[in-house]
Structure formats: structure tokens, C-alpha cells
Amino acid sequence: MNIESNYRQALSTRIQKIAQIPESEAAEFVRLFSLKKLAEKQHLLRAGDAARDAAFIATGAVREYFTDYSGNDFNKNFAFAGEFTGSYYDLLSGKPSIASIETLTVTELLIAPFYHVAKFYERSAEWQRVARVTAENLFLKKARREYEFIIMTAEERYRQFIAENAAMLDKIPQYHLASYLGITPVALSRIRKRVEKSLIINPG
């Protein structure tokens, strides 16, 4: 089995964990996807372009972000291996994309036209479950992020992020993490020092 086949199998397994999809249909679904390798800091999608593709990250990491009228970037999400990316809002709206997606490392993705992916969702209740659970997971992530910004301090957001994504921290430049947390790189540096100091004093 070659590398691309391994990635397709990982995608098939992900789908079949969500719903009881027959092996034959899962195999047909993953054949929609083709392997694409992007270099670090290469765009999968740029704001203003038409969002057409759904993508499954096989290896690597991406950031999804907005850019204001002054050219400042604001990271809204990071996605890692085993997760989907593609700016779901832009795929559904059919309008020029309001988000951009850029790789943080060399990244390999399985990519398919969203139009063809969505056709599978019309096939059966099980495929509708795949669509619903995927959308629900995105909603839960969005709702949780809103809660974090309203209720939690920047340090609490940082502590939670590193607790949940410790293995991925080396893939994220600090200035991108600062943007995601809604603070400046200088403020993040101060928070990191406080957190590291507290971990030395209170290990475990």
C-alpha cells in the first residue's frame, strides 16, 4: 500500500467512525480525493477566491485566518493531521471567500471538489449523519472559542490551548499563536514566562 492509499484509508476510517457507511461506498467516496502536497507558507485558499475544495489533512498543519482592510491577519483556527479544512462557511455560501488558509509546515492533503462531496450527503441517512456531525463539530468549536474570548483571560486561553495541543506547538510560530489568542506577541511572551515558572514551581 502506497502513501496515498494510506491517507485514503485514514480518511475512510474517519468517515466510518462517524456513521455506518458500507465499505464499498466509503471506498467510492475517498476516490473523489486526490493527494496534494504544499510547501510551508503556501495557500490552499486566499480570501476573495472561490472556495471549491474540501480538504482532509494527512500530514502537517494549516491556519485559517481573516485579513482586515489594513492588511492585518487574525487567526481563527488551526487544523492538524486527521482534521478537515476548507472554510465551511465559504464552501456553503458560494460567494468569494472571506477566509484564507495557509500551511504552517510542509503539508499533505487529500482534496476533492466540495460539490461532489456534498452529493454523497444526499444518498442516505448515514451520509446525512456524516454531514451533520461534521457541521456540529465546527459549530461546537466556534461556540467554545466565543466562550473563551468572553469568559477566559488570555493566560487561561493559553493554558488550555497548550494542554490540548502540546504535540503541535512546535508547528505554530509564536506570532500566529498570539494572533489566535487575541493578544500581542509581547503579551504572549510574558504569559509563557509566567506559565513556565508556575510549572517549575508546581510540576504536575
Domains contained in the chain, CATH given: 3-124 (2.60.120.10)
Instruction: Reduce the secondary structure of the chain to three states and give it as a string.
Output: CCHHHHHHHHHHHHHHHHCCCCHHHHHHHHCCCEEEEECCCCEEECCCCECCEEEEEEECEEEEEEECCCCCEEEEEEEECCCEECCHHHHHHCCECCCEEEECCCEEEEEEEHHHHHHHCCCCHHHHHHHHHHHHHHHHHHHHHHHHHHHCCHHHHHHHHHHHHHHHHHHCCHHHHHHHHCCCHHHHHHHHHHHHHHHHHCCC
Tens digits of residue pLDDT in 122-142: 999 999 999 999 999 989 999
Q: What is the mean pLDDT of residues 164-193?
A: 94
Tens digits of residue pLDDT in 41-80: 999 999 999 999 999 999 999 999 999 999 999 999 999 9
What pLDDT score does 12 carry? 94
Tens digits of residue pLDDT in 75-118: 999 999 999 998 888 999 888 999 999 999 999 999 999 999 99
